Structure 1
Amino acid sequence: MSLARTVTSGPEPHSPEEPAKLQTPPVRGTWRASSEGAASTHREDTRPGLGTLRRAFSRTSQRPSGQVPEEDLGLFQRGSHFLFRSLRRAKDNGSTADQSHATEVPGVTHGPEVPSRVMDGRSRQSSAGVGRKELEPEAGKSVADLITERHLLAAFQQLRQLEVRLVAEKASHTFEKDPTGFARRAMDLCLHYDGLAAEIGAIVRETLGPDGVDAAALGELGRVVRAEEEAHPAPPADGDFLLTPRRWRQHWEDAVRRSAQERVQQAGAGEAPGAAEAEAEGASGLARLLAELGGLVRSDLHKVRQEVQPAYSAAGFPAWEAYLRAFHGAVAQRLQELAQDARGCEQLYVLLDWAANVYGSPDFLGAPDLTLSTEPLPPLLAPALWARLQNDYTSFLEAKITSCFDSILQLEQSRWADAKPPDVLQGLYHTPLSIDVHMLVAEHVKAAGAISAELEATTLRICTRALGLFLPRFEKAFLESKAVNEPYLGANINAYEELRTSLLARFPGTFEELEKPLAAATYTFQKRLLQGLQCDVQPLFRVLCTKAWLTQDVLQPLMDKVVAFARHLEHVAPLRAQETLQEVHRYVVREYLAQVLRPRERFRGEERMTSSQKMGLDAQAIGDTFQGLGSEATWLDQAIPCVADILGETYKEDIRRHLETLIGSYPDIRRDHVRAILALRRLGHRRNQRLLQHARDLLRAAAKAAGSGAAGGHVLFEEIEVPTSVDVLLTCI
């Protein structure tokens, strides 16, 4: 306040040749009508040049452009800082007589309204009169009017003329005795330049607005920016702030960025749900917001390419590239904000999918000549943020997949509880287990693969780990349920077989570690199938090798149960059905031989010959039955006939040949089995010893063949236990 009183306390010295001062430019919405009432009337009376400025203010206030952002105020501040440094140089160059004026000048840097305070008094009245003549040439319009009417190039040309004149007068030391006059004129020049720059920002803000594109204004903008760059190509060597480049191109790019940010922030602005509602909407609300965002960006960039770019092209302005970078940065900033609030697996995936597949798609802009990849753009999401989102997504995904497997198990348990038999699909017992698992894995792997190969590999590992934990849980729960029967066992065998083959084929190199658990579980279900059959037929084996057996067909009921069991195998996967059928075939032959080697009754003479013939007939019946069922275990067909031949052979020397056939066909036979067979035949001591010695030699040769891998891996006699009876002991003696 003391500075103001000092300035107005007396007349200011000034040169009669001092050029006119510029009128304060109309900066939209930033200067308030603070000089109302008597004060404003006094200023209008004492400074005629402000009349034009007030008219410009009146026209500007009628425009619906709102207030100038804080960024535009920096233009005025920068102009003031430049002026302050110049005044300090003027102070160093001024005479001692002008010290009082030089010390008053720093007050000018306090703000945009300071020049009107500095220009109080008689010196302002005299300079204002001259300024009107210079600001209203033959066209009759001031620089402020030209800026307001957006004749930007004409306004710049006038400012440039005044700038050149002011620089020339400064160089000629015209202001050595009047630094305050230089300060006024320099400040007014800077304010008008800043006002012109503010108008550039206003034009950019209105470009994408609802009123459409003003092509003439955009062309004028491009020309004035280029004119300024030609007028101020580089900073002057002496550091004169008046000739310093105004960097309007950079200011234009900043305005484009702010405009893009404002437009992007409009997406979803109409929806402001509460926290509970937003949580309930979840991924669907985020998907709608991103769809609206994509539509807005697409529409604005179409407008830029079709209307804005042609208007700038005459001035050689790269409008498309600037707007593309601006919208890219604005979208990136908006996604970062959304990422902070993303919760749950679905929302994170929607965000990642939109960034990778929607925005990152070459067809995002919907036109073949428009693409986001015309030049290298930075990643939409920073690598660290992208990695964090993927990690968060995989954490939620792991819990979700585990929950999905829990739901699959619950559905299966509900089916078991209903006691409803499984469906038959394409001739096989069917359970939805395999389809549910396949869909669960394929869905999440495909979704992850659409985002990145790394996320796909991570999802595969999560699915593999979760499935590995699910399989033993499912097996345990099923075997403990009341649904353990042939149809459900067959259905589960089919499901596990589909999982083993299909998953390995579809995702090679990933599910190999589950092959063994799946095969082990399948074997468990097959073994449970056999146990059910064994419980049914085991009592029927007890009537074999009895007196009744010699005269009755006691084998037929047993084979009927085998045939009934085999009907279930027709609805099991062929490979597993064949394995199970062969195991049933081996079981029947093994149990039959076990009854023969552990007879409940001993046969002599004619009964022994009859039993040998009966065994031959039973062997034929067993072989024909299993051959009819499709068993491929033909290696079992010789076991019963060989034993029957030994028992019924009348020429004792041929028993040696029958032993060779038996041991050669079944190398797993032991000496105990040979003794038990010879005990049934009741040969003499010496003959038994010779046959046992020959059998020992054959077994040694068979053992060597088995050690070298020449023999097959069939097992039959090894699982038959032979008790040590008195007859066997006598045979050994």
Structure 2
Amino acid sequence: MFLKRSRFEKRRKEATADWPHSKIPQVTLGNDCQIAAREKKLKGCWQSGTETELGVLVDTLLTDHVENSAAVTQELGARVALCCLSGLADLLQRDYIERLKQKVSSDGEEEAKKALASLDRVVKGGNEMLTQRLLEELKPNFSKLLKSKWLQNKEIFESITTIIKKHFNQFRKMKSPPYQDLANGIHRKVVTEYVRAVVQTRVVCSSADMRMKVAGQLTQESVELREMFASLNSSASWLDTAIEHLAEIISLKDTSSIQMEVGALADSYPDVRKEHIEALLNIRGDISHQNRQNILETLRDFNGNNGGSTLSRNRALFAEIDATPVVQCANLNMSCALRCFSVFRRCSVRVR
């Protein structure tokens, strides 16, 4: 896990072979005696069980490697940081917990729980970092979903799946429990961002044919996401029907069928709110005021009947999504319409 000075210097020289000598940062890890002394002390703490001092030494060693490698290049520093994080998780999982179980008898379970909690924090922090890096790369593509060129341009969605698969080529090297948490978490984040793009779009279908095309593409991309994450071993199958429910609400023709689909959506995802349904009805572009109220009443009735149920944070989907405010301007006189348009403009600025 830890590099000797000679190995570090060798890698530094290889990484900077093409640089002008004057631009190569001078990095010092300390002399061989200092490194050997620290490693000897580390082994002593490990054998004697002084975890507090051990933690300080591990932190010092990791900090040295991360800071010194970052002095060469930022990219090298990032790579070393990831290696240290992975190595730290392995240290906790393979050695630390097992040693506690074997060494402590009466309070072994309690100590093991503490060690597992430490491991969980490391794994969670690493997974959050990896997920955030992936989402940052996906963000420009999510912003193009359900825009004017989305129906004609299949490359937008293909770019999303390509980026995800590229990252998972690296993630697959992880061990099973941390990998499973990462795969499930990314699956949830990707579906959340897709749903966000749907309910925040300002696209309004001008015909039944356009509604069918929009719903058809949503369904197709939902199936592709489901198949992709199944191949990546995500076990978060509860996410699979979310986008298809939205597609059905957009495509169905009669109000009673839409009401049934809204009930099915609320049954699968109890955190769906009135503004999410309003946003979907707004995409349709054909729902009268009275029918809109009848559909929303279905959601209110369903939420009322299930008001006592609690939803795990890990199973929340719509709770993190704000919908674009729906502004009704139909059947108003000109002055009301102008005030309505002014509100719409302010909303547009706020959403951007």
TM-score (norm 1): 0.36
Residue identity in the other structure for 2:294? R
Q: How does 1:121-270 map to 2 (within 5 A)?
A: none
* Cα distance in structure 1, aligned partners of 2:241 and 2:14: 43
Structure 2 residue 174 is matched with structure 1 residue 572: yes
Q: CA deviation at 1:540?
A: 0.9
Q: How does 1:625-644 map to 2 (within 5 A)?
A: 625-644=228-247
Structure 2 residue 42 is matched with structure 1 residue 466: no
Contact 1:647 1:681 (C-alpha < 8 Å) held by counterparts: yes
Q: CA deviation at 1:590?
A: 1.0
Change (3 A) 1:637 1:496: same
Structure 2 residue 133 is matched with structure 1 residue 536: no
Q: How does 1:563-642 map to 2 (within 5 A)?
A: 563-605=165-207, 606-642=209-245
- For 1:505, the equivalent position in structure 2 comes to 98
Deviates more, 1:718-727 or 1:528-537: 718-727
Q: CA deviation at 1:497?
A: 4.3
Change (3 A) 1:677 1:729: farther
Change (3 A) 1:612 1:486: farther
Spell out, residue by residue over 1:69-99, the C-alpha distance to the aligned partner (whole angstroms, 9 max, x if none): xxxxxxxxxxxxxxxxxxxxxxxxxxxxxxx
Contact 1:555 1:618 (C-alpha < 8 Å) held by counterparts: yes
Contact 1:675 1:728 (C-alpha < 8 Å) held by counterparts: no
Spell out, residue by residue over 1:514-543, the C-alpha distance to the aligned partner (whole angstroms, 9 max, x if none): 443432232222111112211211101122
Residue identity in the other structure for 2:99? R
* Cα distance in structure 2, aligned partners of 1:521 and 1:479: 17
Change (3 A) 1:515 1:442: farther
Residue identity in the other structure for 1:505? E
Larger radius of gyration: 1
Higher relative contact order (CA 8 A, sep 6+): 2
* Cα distance in structure 1, aligned partners of 2:99 and 2:263: 50
Change (3 A) 1:680 1:484: farther
Change (3 A) 1:472 1:438: closer
Change (3 A) 1:589 1:514: same
CA RMSD of aligned residues (A): 3.7
* Cα distance in structure 2, aligned partners of 1:475 and 1:728: 61
Spell out, residue by residue over 1:540-599, the C-alpha distance to the aligned partner (whole angstroms, 9 max, x if none): 112211232112212111111110100001111221112112222112111111111111
Change (3 A) 1:491 1:580: farther
* Cα distance in structure 1, aligned partners of 2:121 and 2:164: 25
Q: How does 1:282-681 map to 2 (within 5 A)?
A: 414=8, 418=12, 446=47, 459-460=48-49, 462=50, 464-469=51-56, 481=70, 482=74, 483=76, 489=82, 492-493=85-86, 495-508=88-101, 509=108, 510=111, 512-553=113-154, 554-605=156-207, 606-681=209-284
* Cα distance in structure 2, aligned partners of 1:718 and 1:524: 22
Residue identity in the other structure for 1:620? V
Q: CA deviation at 1:723?
A: 3.0
**What SS class does the counterpart of residue 584 from structure 1 fall into?**
helix
Aligned residues: 292
Change (3 A) 1:445 1:616: closer
* Cα distance in structure 1, aligned partners of 2:61 and 2:263: 49
Structure 2 residue 323 is matched with structure 1 residue 719: no
Residue identity in the other structure for 1:720? I
Change (3 A) 1:674 1:570: same
Q: CA deviation at 1:680?
A: 2.3
Structure 2 residue 293 is matched with structure 1 residue 706: no
Q: CA deviation at 1:729?
A: 11
Q: CA deviation at 1:652?
A: 2.2
* Cα distance in structure 1, aligned partners of 2:303 and 2:193: 23
* Cα distance in structure 1, aligned partners of 2:317 and 2:295: 22
- For 1:687, the equivalent position in structure 2 comes to 291
* Cα distance in structure 2, aligned partners of 1:728 and 1:630: 47
Q: CA deviation at 1:678?
A: 2.6
Residue identity in the other structure for 1:555? F
Change (3 A) 1:566 1:490: farther
- For 1:356, the equivalent position in structure 2 comes to none
Change (3 A) 1:518 1:440: farther
Can you give the 5+ residue segments of structure 1 that lack an aligned partner in the other structure?
Answer: 1-406, 422-436, 447-458
Contact 1:679 1:728 (C-alpha < 8 Å) held by counterparts: no
Q: CA deviation at 1:623?
A: 1.0
Change (3 A) 1:590 1:485: farther
**What SS class does the counterpart of residue 555 from structure 1 fall into?**
helix
Spell out, residue by residue over 1:31-68, the C-alpha distance to the aligned partner (whole angstroms, 9 max, x if none): xxxxxxxxxxxxxxxxxxxxxxxxxxxxxxxxxxxxxx
Contact 1:642 1:662 (C-alpha < 8 Å) held by counterparts: yes
**What SS class does the counterpart of residue 543 from structure 1 fall into?**
coil
* Cα distance in structure 1, aligned partners of 2:275 and 2:152: 30
Q: How does 1:55-94 map to 2 (within 5 A)?
A: none
Residue identity in the other structure for 2:224? A
Change (3 A) 1:601 1:656: closer
Contact 1:489 1:526 (C-alpha < 8 Å) held by counterparts: no
Change (3 A) 1:467 1:442: closer
Q: CA deviation at 1:632?
A: 1.4
Residue identity in the other structure for 1:595? A
Contact 2:216 2:247 (C-alpha < 8 Å) held by counterparts: yes
* Cα distance in structure 1, aligned partners of 2:238 and 2:175: 23
TM-score (norm 2): 0.70
**What SS class does the counterpart of residue 547 from structure 1 fall into?**
coil
